[in-house]
């Protein structure tokens, strides 16, 4: 019985590959080459910083302020009985141009009769329409992409997730509703009142 056990162990040792085996080295070389290729590709795509950014201060922002409005912001403004353009001007003490993207309009239209008042507000002639060239109508991605390309907008939203995403982008202030009035976050003091 003892002999059989020994032979079994001997067989197991024989089946193991020698750590200095050539095949392993070839595999290691291939893995290293792959890593180098991935590293080279990663370096090619470098985010260019906006020319309007001066350190972390956005010089592209200035009156008249262009404010991109999100779906839920219009709805909350209606719930708080706030007139959108007037409340924006009260918050920033300057002329404001509310902008609305095609994606946000599509989202409002999809929401149906419950949001028909919000849709009527969004169709106001004072609102500037921003056409979208991408596929799909997910408004959050659309807004984030737009502010990444052009840092000249303030984003008006009450959506927590969208706010979190925007905070990662330097130089983009966020407008939100608090205590039945509009308030702004991360707007430099030199440009206006930080808390309207």
pLDDT digits (tens, 9 = 90+) for 64-74: 888 999 988 89
Fold held by 62-185: Rossmann fold (3.40.50)
Measured torsion, CA atoms of residues 123, 129, 130, 136, in degrees rounded to the nearest 10: 30
Q: 165, exposed or middle or buried, with CB in 10 Å at 0-12, 13-18, 19+?
A: middle
The two tokens of residue 144 are 């984030």
Helical H segments across 45-159, by residue range: 71-79, 84-92, 102-110, 116-122, 139-149
pLDDT in tens, 22-41: 667 777 788 788 888 777 66
pLDDT in tens, 93-123: 888 888 998 888 888 888 888 888 888 888 8
């Amino acid at each position: 019985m003892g002999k059989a056990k020994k032979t079994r162990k001997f067989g197991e040792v024989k089946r193991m590959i020698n750590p200095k085996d050539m095949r392993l080295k070839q595999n290691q070389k291939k893995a290293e080459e792959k890593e180098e290729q991935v590293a080279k590709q990663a370096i090619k795509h470098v985010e260019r910083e906006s020319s309007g950014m001066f350190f972390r201060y956005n010089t592209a922002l200035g009156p008249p302020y262009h404010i991109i409005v999100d779906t839920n912001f219009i709805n909350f403004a209606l719930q708080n009985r706030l007139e959108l353009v007037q409340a924006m001007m009260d918050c920033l003490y300057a002329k404001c141009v509310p902008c609305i993207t095609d994606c946000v309009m599509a989202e409002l239209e999809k929401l149906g009769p419950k949001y028909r008042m919000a849709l009527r507000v969004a169709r106001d002639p004072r609102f500037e329409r921003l056409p979208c060239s991408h596929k799909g109508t997910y408004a959050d991605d659309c807004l984030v992409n737009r502010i990444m390309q052009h840092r000249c907008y303030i984003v008006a939203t009450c959506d927590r997730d969208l706010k979190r995403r925007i905070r990662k982008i330097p130089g983009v202030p966020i407008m939100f509703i608090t205590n039945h009035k509009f308030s702004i976050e991360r707007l430099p003091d030199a440009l206006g009142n930080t808390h309207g």
